[in-house]
Amino acid sequence: MIVILLGPPGAGKGTQAKRLEEKYGVVQLSTGDMLRAERNSGSALGRKVQAIMDAGQLVSDDVIIALIADRIDRVAAKGFILDGFPRTVPQAEALDRMLHDKGLMLDRVIEMTVDEAALIDRIAGRFSCANCGASYHDRNHRPKAEGVCDVCGAHDFVRRADDNPTAVKTRLEAYRRQTAPILPYYRNKGILRQVDGMADMDTVTRQIEAILNGQ
């Protein structure tokens, strides 16, 4: 199974990708997570992208395409969920070429629709486990035991540097200007489906599963 989750910042792509990973045994490929791992490791690439990410702008296509090509090679046999990639028309075209060269096919592109006011609230309230990256929200999704990660039991939580009002505005603008134009690309291929990302998390999961199960 090869699926793209598409939607603006805070739409719930990461949340749903993790659930699908568990349910279907596929691999979540999040370009945002990959870039943050590069930053945390202090690599040359991490240093190069830091300021761009913190400002909420998109990292250049050539960097992203090289990054994802390597990961796709490693997980192709298991199937994967793309979360945060592609984000521009050149990235979508590069993905097509990569899949074609490997004899793979994209099954579905799922657009998660949400309204902007909700996105800002979701992003402002987001925090994640410093150890395993599990995502939480101040109001909608707190750890079951206060201060303890549900997934790994760690006690440290972090907030992202780009989850501030100025960067969020830039990220939303980048989505509107650079990412939304890839929707017609997939609509024309007949593989684009929509889910209501405003519904609660379990309902969104059920909507996505219904699409993947061909209902």
The footprint of ligand AP5 on this chain (CB under 6 A) covers a number of residues equal to 36
The rounded distance, in Å, linking the Cα atoms of 134 and 157 is: 9
Tokens of 85: 């990639």
- Residue 212 beta carbon to ligand AP5: minimum distance, rounded to whole angstroms: 17
Q: Which residue, 43 or 103, is less far from ligand AP5 as judged by CB?
A: 43
Q: Does 67 bind ligand AP5 (CB under 6 A)?
A: no
Q: Which residue, 82 or 103, is less far from ligand AP5 as judged by CB?
A: 82
Q: Which residue, 87 or 108, is less far from ligand AP5 as judged by CB?
A: 87
Q: Which residue, 64 or 192, is less far from ligand AP5 as judged by CB?
A: 64
Query: Residues 138 to 177: which contact ligand AP5 by CB under 6 A?
Result: 140-141, 162, 171
- Residue 31 beta carbon to ligand AP5: minimum distance, rounded to whole angstroms: 3
Assess contact for 54 and 161: CB atoms under 8 A: yes
Long-range contacts of 26-29 (CB under 8 A, 24+ apart): 26/1, 26/78, 26/79, 26/80, 26/81, 27/75, 27/78, 27/79, 27/80, 27/81, 28/80, 28/81, 28/83, 29/68, 29/71, 29/72, 29/75, 29/80, 29/81, 29/82, 29/83, 29/85
Binding track, positions 173-212, relative to ligand AP5; x by CB under 6 A: ---------------------------xx--x--------
Catalytic residue among 13, 36, 39, 122: 13
Q: Which residues pair with 135 in a beta bridge?
A: 128
